[in-house]
Structure 1
Amino acid sequence: MVYLLEDDDSIRKLVIYALQSQGYEAAGFERPSEFWHAVNRKLPELVLLDVMLPEEDGLSVLKKLRGASATNGIPVIMLTAKNTEFDRVTGLDCGADDFVSKPFGMMELLARVRAVLRRTEKTPQEQQWQVGPLYVCPQRRQVQVNGQDVLLTYKEFEILSLLLQQQGRVMTREMLMDRVWGLEADRENRTLDVHIRTLRQKLGEAGHLIETVRGVGYKIGGRA
């Protein structure tokens, strides 16, 4: 199920029609209050979220999604007329998984939706990791440091899981960008660095486990 929170009636109807024509279950909401009511009834697999909304803005909605354990792992694509690096970094820091700038082509939006849902399906389901104070259970999408839950965004969780899968090995920046962001990734921006920085901050005492290999990429474990 894909939820769309968009107050523009024509855009909302067009996007919902496009999603349903591709076989997706989809529901659209004009106001955040309607959206939250639906979330309480049934959790979506993906949220398409406009920035400028009545009642509360999209970034506020995003922060609430990321702050609740039940919705923290749901990927979110922001629909925004803003396209500056500052706005994108702000959204990433708040937990957005991707951006589509208005006006957007419907084929591009559908491609982004497919890419995000594919990455969701690739989440490991059978493995658990314990490295020092850090515990990660992909099946429950649970991250703990010294027994305390840590809330991560979808992409932060994916980065951490990839590094844990390859413990002791260096994952290059290109490998991480390809695996987490796919073909739409812009290798020249600082998106990965922003995610690594916020991931270390959220992990607190365990943040040092993510090592920077200068000029190459990142790793967890193994000899320096």
Structure 2
Amino acid sequence: MANILVVEDQQDLNQIITRFLKNEGFEVINSYTAKGALSKLNEADLIILDIMLPDMEGYEVLKEASKKGIPTIILTSKSEEFDKLKGFELGAEDYITKPFSMLELIARVKVVLRRSKNFEESIKLLDGKVEIFPKRFKVIVDGEDVNLTHKEFELLLFLAKNKDLVKSRDEILEKVWGFDFIGETRTVDVHIKQLREKLKDYKFLIKTVWGVGYKLSEDKE
């Protein structure tokens, strides 16, 4: 699920927005100042940004977010047309005027994320310690990229999409290597071994089911 950076200096409002976002399954990063927000931009998939902040105007955060391609929803008490135009000119995706409905805010967040080219739903395992990005063929373990071959990635992705389900070697060959693959089930075993080595401390994720095949499970047993 997406990481939402909430930049709002009113602590009560910041926490209310946070609660609603978390109820929808989003991860939330909080900031109460522009400088704090600038230091957390790289963690965000989307920003909810108040313009009136204690240290500097939120427009400065908006400018930097736009450079990085991070979609931003402006949240402010300023309702003049000039302020809205300025926000859109600087790259804002949407503009919500206080007071507002939390349900409307959530709906707008979902719309903006669907429009965002940079956002991609990932598969998170072990509370995010292992994260798989299907469209980018990318795997992150403990915050660091893992260098997988194309087939290692497809194998991990197939098992992750079928978490806790046992898959036979023949089925893995068919789904990952394809119907026309000329080879033997030993190919699967070799790739499983290599994949486990690259997962390091989390090699236990891929379990052997003797006489059947393999499954991916977050249980350590």
Aligned with 1:119 (options 115, 118, 125): 115
Q: Which runs of 5+ in 1 are unaligned?
A: 124-138, 141-224
Stretch of structure 1 that moved more, 20-29 or 82-91: 82-91
Paired residue type of 1:30: Y
Paired residue type of 2:12: S
| Cα drift, residue 43 of structure 1 | 2.7
- 1:145-175 Cα distance to aligned partner (Å, 9 max, x none): xxxxxxxxxxxxxxxxxxxxxxxxxxxxxxx
Paired residue type of 1:87: D
Aligned with 2:92 (options 73, 91, 96): 96
CA distance in 2, matches of 1:26, 1:119: 20
Q: SS state of the match for residue 86, structure 1?
A: helix
- 1:105-134 Cα distance to aligned partner (Å, 9 max, x none): 1000000001001112698xxxxxxxxxxx
Paired residue type of 2:84: R
| Cα drift, residue 27 of structure 1 | 1.5
**1:31-110 alignment, distance < 5 Å:** 31-39=33-41, 42-67=42-67, 71=68, 73-110=69-106
**1:138-217 alignment, distance < 5 Å:** none
Q: Which runs of 5+ in 2 are unaligned?
A: 120-134, 137-221
Larger Rg: 2
**1:21-32 alignment, distance < 5 Å:** 21-32=23-34
Q: SS state of the match for residue 56, structure 1?
A: coil
CA distance in 1, matches of 2:81, 2:29: 30
User: What value does the CA root-mean-square deviation take over the aligned residues?
Assistant: 2.3
CA distance in 1, matches of 2:89, 2:117: 24
CA distance in 2, matches of 1:36, 1:21: 26
Q: SS state of the match for residue 39, structure 2?
A: helix
| Cα drift, residue 36 of structure 1 | 2.2
| Cα drift, residue 92 of structure 1 | 0.9
Q: SS state of the match for residue 57, structure 1?
A: coil
Aligned with 1:11 (options 2, 10, 13): 13
CA distance in 2, matches of 1:64, 1:120: 17
Q: SS state of the match for residue 49, structure 2?
A: strand
Q: SS state of the match for residue 48, structure 1?
A: strand
The structure whose RCO (Cα within 8 Å, separation 6+) is larger is 1
| Cα drift, residue 31 of structure 1 | 1.3
User: Normalising to structure 2: TM-score of the pair?
Assistant: 0.50
Paired residue type of 1:106: M
Paired residue type of 1:15: I
CA distance in 2, matches of 1:25, 1:9: 18
Whether the aligned pair in 1 keeps the contact of 2:37 and 2:61 (CA below 8 Å) is no
| Cα drift, residue 64 of structure 1 | 2.4
Percent identical pairs in the alignment equals 36
CA distance change for structure 1 residues 122 and 26 in 2, over 3 Å: closer, same or farther?
closer
